[in-house]
Amino acid sequence: MNSALTENQRLLALREHHVPRGIATAHPVVAARAQGAELWDVDGKRYLDFVGGIGVLNVGHNHPKVVEAVRRQVGEISHASFQVVAYENYIQVAARLNKLIGGDAHYKSVLFTSGAEAVENAVKIARGYTNRTAVISFRGGFHGRTLLGVTLTGMSQPYKQNFGPFPAEIYHATYPNAYRGVSSDDALAELDELFATDVAPDRVAAIIIEPVQGDGGFLEAPKEFLQALRARCTEHGIVLILDEIQAGFGRTGTMFGFQHADIQPDLVTVAKSLAGGMPLSGVVGRAEIMDAPTPGGLGGTYGGNAVACAAALAVLDLFEEQDLLAQGETLAAQLHDGLLALQKRYPRIGDVRGLGFMQAIEMVSGDADLSPDAALAQKVIDEARNAGLLVIKCGVHRNVVRFLAPLVTTQEQVAEALQMLEKALAAAC
């Protein structure tokens, strides 16, 4: 190879040769180490990481308490499979999730490895409980890359490509979008029309929804919309599933996004920031629903891995000990105000939105319709990286820049990130 290549270039050339193109890498960066909200590449360049493993690192990279919990657990038992023998920290994680989500009601939890696995199993549980087949998700929603996850996902590209045929009995409803003029009443009217024309409510096993759409563009489901969904599900015996995989664990200012709406879901899917970077997911729900599948119907070889469970317990301890929710709210106000200030200077930022420390800017063209501008969003992302800030895009039209910095980010780092973003906007706009 050319000796003049940087270490990043050398490794990325190997990546191109050995790894299929279907797995995209947002930045031409090879990471060497990370701590908190900072990341260094193999050439020694430092970045502020406002991606956080795509919303996985709410407690930051390599938090010492998580690292210590993982080290300790590896020395005791790394894997046995809960389907073979039980181990205490799986049971402890389940108990704590049940309390966090169910309160004093009887909830149960089953643990898996990935978010998509949690979604698939939530659908299985809902179908097993109701003896119905249909599931409703929402346009713009993201629920994973498995075949059922892709089918539930309300975006055609890049996720569906030519991967069909897709599972049957999946229907998509409209999600509210205030910026584009879709109110809660509009979305509810379309849901009722779906019941009237495509699938009767007594055939629907579940409705699955993100309280804030993640990959769909950081759109918040209004309180009145989630409350109306809760009422319709109760009326028709439909299981209400809240997908909290990206919005959960303090990202929105409460432990879970649904808590802003004062509703109680039947099932909740969790993953991402549950275990501080270790692969762990779960379905948490009402005991009578969770117990619908008979023994053997749920599981997975690595589901609830002992090391991942140890990491999760450390993460949950950190939320209790360090008041990360309050810290996240302080950072959220600083970031949101900073983004609004940038919007005044750069009108191609059509919208600034988010809930808690889950913030985004929507990039638009200069036309009267404020058309989505994916190319501009990508240019902002590239220029931000050049300035030392890592961010990624989202939205159905890929024109939204999202910010998922750890809750342990400092106020000084948020201020630095805003400076970097302004530099990027000046270059891109």
pLDDT at 4: 87
Provide mean pLDDT across the span 33-41. Answer: 98
What is the 8-class DSSP label of residue 238? Answer: P
pLDDT at 284: 98
pLDDT at 3: 63
| Per-residue pLDDT reduced to its tens digit, 295-316 | 999 999 999 999 999 999 999 9
Provide mean pLDDT across the span 233-241. Answer: 98
Provide mean pLDDT across the span 36-46. Answer: 98
Provide mean pLDDT across the span 228-246. Answer: 98
Domain boundary assignment for the chain: 7-63+323-428, 67-322
Provide mean pLDDT across the span 106-113. Answer: 98
pTM over 0.75: yes
| Per-residue pLDDT reduced to its tens digit, 321-330 | 999 999 999 9
CA distance 105 to 35: 38
Local structure of 282: helix, strand or coil:
strand
* Average predicted confidence (pLDDT) for the chain: 97
Asked if residues 250 and 58 have their Cβ atoms less than 8 Å apart, the reply is: yes
Cα–Cα distances (Å) from 270 to 79, 137, 256, 392, in that order, read 21, 17, 9, 22
pLDDT at 366: 87
pLDDT at 1: 47
pLDDT at 164: 87
| Per-residue pLDDT reduced to its tens digit, 155-195 | 888 999 999 899 999 999 999 999 999 999 999 999 999 99
DSSP string, 294-328: PTTSS--TTTT-HHHHHHHHHHHHHHHHH-HHHHH
Provide mean pLDDT across the span 239-247. Answer: 98
Quick one: pLDDT band at residue 144, thresholds 50, 70, 90? very high
Q: Which CATH superfamily is domain 7-63+323-428 in?
A: Aspartate Aminotransferase, domain 1 (3.90.1150.10)
| Per-residue pLDDT reduced to its tens digit, 16-34 | 999 999 999 999 999 999 9
Cα–Cα distances (Å) from 311 to 110, 115, 415, 429, in that order, read 17, 17, 30, 42
Provide mean pLDDT across the span 268-279. Answer: 97
pLDDT at 318: 97
| Per-residue pLDDT reduced to its tens digit, 376-423 | 999 999 999 999 999 999 999 999 999 999 999 999 999 999 999 999
The CATH topology of domain 67-322 is: Aspartate Aminotransferase; domain 2 (3.40.640)
Sign of CA dihedral 261, 372, 362, 386: positive
Local structure of 116: helix, strand or coil:
helix
CA distance 336 to 356: 9
Provide mean pLDDT across the span 126-154. Answer: 97
pLDDT at residue 2 tops 80? no
* Helix axes 306-322 and 88-102, enclosed angle (nearest 10): 40
| Per-residue pLDDT reduced to its tens digit, 184-231 | 999 999 999 999 999 999 999 999 999 999 999 999 999 999 999 999
